[in-house]
Amino acid sequence: MPELSYREAVRDALSQAMRNDEDVFIMGEDIAEMGGSMGVTQGMLEEFGPDRVRNTPISEMAIVGSGIGAAIQGMRPVVEVMYEDFLTISMEQIVNQAAKHRYMSGGQLKVPLTIRTQGGAGWSPGAQHAQQVEAWFVGVPGLKVVFASTPSDVRGLLWSAIYDDNPVIFFEHRTLYGLKEELAEEIEPIPIGQARVHRQGEDVTVVATGRLVHEALAAAEEAGQQGVSVEVVDPRTLQPLDEDAIVASVKKTNRCVVAHEAVTRMGFGAEVAAVVQHQAFDWLDAPVERVGAKFTPLPFAPVMEEYVVPHATDVLEAIQKTVQRDGSS
Amino acid sequence: MAKVEQRRGLSDEALREFFREMLLIRRFEEKVEERFRAGELPGFLHVAIGQEAVAVGVCRALADGDVIASTHRAHGHTLAKGTHPNELMAELYGKLEGCSHGYGGSMHLYDVERGNLGANAVVGGGLPAIVGAALAFKFRGEPRVAVAFFGDGATNIGTFHESLNLAQLWGVPAVFVCEDNHWAESTPESQHSPIRDLSKRAEAFGMKSMKVDGQDVEEVNKVTARALKHARDGKGPVFLLCETQRLVGHYIGDPQVYRDKDELRRLQETSDPIELVREKLGLSDAEYEALDREVQELVDSSVDFAKAGTDPKPEDALKNVYA
């Protein structure tokens, strides 16, 4: 089996879909000759040509909006918004148009559009090139939201996003692009709405997304050495959310930590905590702990950036809090 | 350079049909106003009285398969694109038989089967999708054109500039129909645009522009046909500037405190597009009254149809969120 990086896995899903289906095409800023700001689409121009690998002007409203129009006509566009921060510019088209056309038309239209974007701290790009905004979109009925954390997940989920008949906001994490995994040549689609249990455990469930999945796995190793058995669950899709998988895990472990890189306040973890307390209240032995970024824009200086976003040590601390709560560790 | 296009006649029969359709739109919107004031229609409503010649002139030039995106002032475009008055009125009453099945309302009128991709309540919101629809036509080599309606007010928003730039850059078969009624809600053009000739904005992108008297349905139709041919022949998009007049307020009930009443009266007397066609056709009173009765009956029965329609169940609200 070939070894693919997360970056190559994204490219592989795009390329296989485009070989498979003339209705699939990609467009975005600098995606053609340059191969995208993160190198994801490198080589695709050579294979598919400039009509299907379309460089666009710096026009996020038109990039997303023209994707909507092509999708309404039955194509399956995948548009790239270079940084999550720039989703703010295309917000009107995503929230008022892509998400609502089907509803406002009483079911006459569908919008099979995939919007790929990426972000994430850890390389000091400063406040406008790294924030994590996935939670904003989870509150918009009509959108699906995916956030994959491994090469196999990103490939299988992107395939499903492309072939989903709804608009999907597809988040990639900048620091995961180099992560490698052996993958079969044939893509196995991963259903949207299905969580993945990365690690079985008995004492605490950590529900983590994006980069924090890997931080949680590191924290789980450390906790294991301290005698605490940690289960790590990655929802992978935030909308729809696999509530059953999360609740089943918490009912087994009786403790829950939620972890993501975005700010804690109004973060995705708040929704997970609400689901858990509502559906597994009687099983909980401790309050749900939340791990996320401190409530600041992302600072530039590396020492400040590292301080603001969460790491494995923060997840471990949260795990310890939940087990110390009732002294059962 | 944009130029005012020269006249070339339509047959009397065709012009008469345009007249009938404009009159239908007028009577429909008058009825909508009446029923709104009677408290029967939820939400709020924008009528396009005075702008009927643009809706009919443009839509009557379209081919089957061409698509439109409309605005918050959408009743005329929707009727002219072929939606039956019954389905439109039923939508305004929030019924399942409505053209958006009660999910849209006056500002979100859709009729996808007839090529109406939706009226948009966000000014300029529908323009980017028209570029994308046209891109899909180009990809597939289909001889179809995508048409966006929008007002002068929309030429100030970012989507207008991004969409025109992209459309021209990619040479997609789109026509951008600017219904320049000189008002952005209550704000006159002098307060929202530093230039009077909005076609300059399209020309700045290198886009072909055409100008037409939007009160003259025959002219609108003829120039639209030329614009559509340009787009359909693969020569790129066209900006079509229609000089028109909104002879009423922004919304039903708008007291128009911002508007010079004498000037409005003058426009109502001199620039009513329906009166202009009536004169051109030289209709006798009897002919006019017969046509008027015919469309009035259609409108009246659309109200009966709508009132007899099916109310959605409250929980129907949960449908159609996802495909």
Beta bridge partners of A175: none
Is any Cβ of chain B less than 8 angstroms from the Cβ of A272?
no
- Out of A60, A80, A231, A271, pick the active-site residue: A60
- Nearest CB among A73, A108, A166 relative to B136 is that of A73
Instruction: Look at residue B117 and tell me whether its pLDDT is greater than 60.
Output: yes
User: Does the distance separating the beta carbons of B137 and A61 come in below 8 Å?
Assistant: no
| pLDDT given for residue B3 in this prediction | 46
What integer is the mean pLDDT of A87-109?
Answer: 98
User: How does residue B8 score in pLDDT terms, banded at 50, 70 and 90?
Assistant: low
pLDDT exceeding 70 applies to what percent of chain B?
Answer: 98
Cβ neighbours of A302 (radius 10 Å) = 12
Mark whether A278 is an active-site residue.
no
Cβ neighbours of B313 (radius 10 Å) = 10
Average of per-residue pLDDT values in chain B: 96
Question: How distant, in Å, are the alpha carbons of A115, A143, B104, B124, B157 from that of B154?
Answer: 26, 26, 21, 5, 6
Question: How distant, in Å, are the alpha carbons of A201, B9, B139, B298 from that of B163?
Answer: 52, 34, 18, 38
Number of residues written out for chain A:
329
Identity of the residue numbered B11: S
Instruction: Look at residue A220 and tell me whether its pLDDT is greater than 90.
Output: yes
Residue B219, token pair as written in the block: 């002219």
User: Does the distance separating the beta carbons of A92 and B125 come in below 8 Å?
Assistant: yes
User: How does residue A205 score in pLDDT terms, banded at 50, 70 and 90?
Assistant: very high
Instruction: Look at residue B261 and tell me whether its pLDDT is greater than 80.
Output: yes
Under 8 Å between Cβ of B306 and B42: no
| pLDDT digit string, tens, across residues B129-162 | 999 999 999 999 999 999 999 999 999 999 999 9
Is any Cβ of chain A less than 8 angstroms from the Cβ of B16?
no
What integer is the mean pLDDT of B3-21?
Answer: 78
CA distance B311 to A133: 39
State which H helix or E strand residue B243 sits in. strand B238-243
Instruction: Look at residue B7 and tell me whether its pLDDT is greater than 70.
Output: no
User: Does the distance separating the beta carbons of A103 and B132 come in below 8 Å?
Assistant: no
Residue B134, token pair as written in the block: 């046209």
| pLDDT given for residue A325 in this prediction | 73
| pLDDT given for residue B2 in this prediction | 45
What integer is the mean pLDDT of A159-178?
Answer: 98
- Look up tokens 């050579």; give the residue: A46
ipTM: 0.95
For residue B127, the distance in angstroms to the closest alpha carbon of chain A comes to 8
Average of per-residue pLDDT values in chain A: 97
User: Does the distance separating the beta carbons of A70 and B135 come in below 8 Å?
Assistant: yes
| pLDDT given for residue A321 in this prediction | 97
Number of residues written out for chain B:
323
Beta bridge partners of A293: A263
Q: Which domains does chain B have, with CATH numbers?
A: 3-303 (3.40.50.970)
- Nearest CB among B122, B162, B320 relative to A102 is that of B320
Region of poorest pLDDT, from A25-29, A64-68, A323-327, B126-130: A323-327
pLDDT exceeding 70 applies to what percent of chain A?
Answer: 99
Residues contacting B109, CB < 8 A, separation 6+:
B70, B74, B75, B78, B83, B88, B91, B99, B100, B116, B118, B119
| pLDDT given for residue A326 in this prediction | 58
Edge-to-edge strand order for the sheet containing B208-213? B116-119, B67-70, B146-151, B174-180, B238-243, B208-213
| pLDDT digit string, tens, across residues A108-126 | 999 999 999 999 999 999 9
| pLDDT given for residue B221 in this prediction | 98
Counting beta carbons within 10 angstroms of the beta carbon of residue A226, is it exposed (0 to 12), middle (13 to 18) or buried (19 or more)? exposed
User: How does residue B316 score in pLDDT terms, banded at 50, 70 and 90?
Assistant: very high
State which H helix or E strand residue B192 sits in. helix B189-192
User: How does residue B201 score in pLDDT terms, banded at 50, 70 and 90?
Assistant: very high
| pLDDT given for residue A83 in this prediction | 97
Cis peptide bond prior to A240, omega within 30° of 0 = yes
Report which DSSP code applies to B322.
-
- pTM exceeds 0.80: yes
For residue B275, the distance in angstroms to the closest alpha carbon of chain A comes to 35
Q: Name the residue in chain A with its Cα closest to that of B68.
A: A69
Instruction: Look at residue A329 and tell me whether its pLDDT is greater than 50.
Output: no
| pLDDT given for residue B5 in this prediction | 46
Cβ neighbours of A139 (radius 10 Å) = 12
- Nearest CB among B100, B126, B166 relative to A106 is that of B100
| pLDDT given for residue B1 in this prediction | 41
Q: Which domains does chain A have, with CATH numbers?
A: 3-182 (3.40.50.970), 196-324 (3.40.50.920)
| pLDDT digit string, tens, across residues A227-267 | 999 999 999 999 999 999 999 999 999 999 999 999 999 99
| pLDDT given for residue B6 in this prediction | 44
What integer is the mean pLDDT of A17-24?
Answer: 97
Counting beta carbons within 10 angstroms of the beta carbon of residue B311, is it exposed (0 to 12), middle (13 to 18) or buried (19 or more)? exposed
| pLDDT given for residue A296 in this prediction | 98
Q: What are phi and psi of B250, to 5 degrees?
A: -65, -45
- Out of A101, A129, A198, A214, pick the active-site residue: A129
Q: What are phi and psi of A225, to 5 degrees?
A: -65, -20
Counting beta carbons within 10 angstroms of the beta carbon of residue B33, is it exposed (0 to 12), middle (13 to 18) or buried (19 or more)? middle
CA distance B60 to B104: 25
What integer is the mean pLDDT of B40-68?
Answer: 97
| pLDDT given for residue B35 in this prediction | 98
CA distance B268 to B246: 9
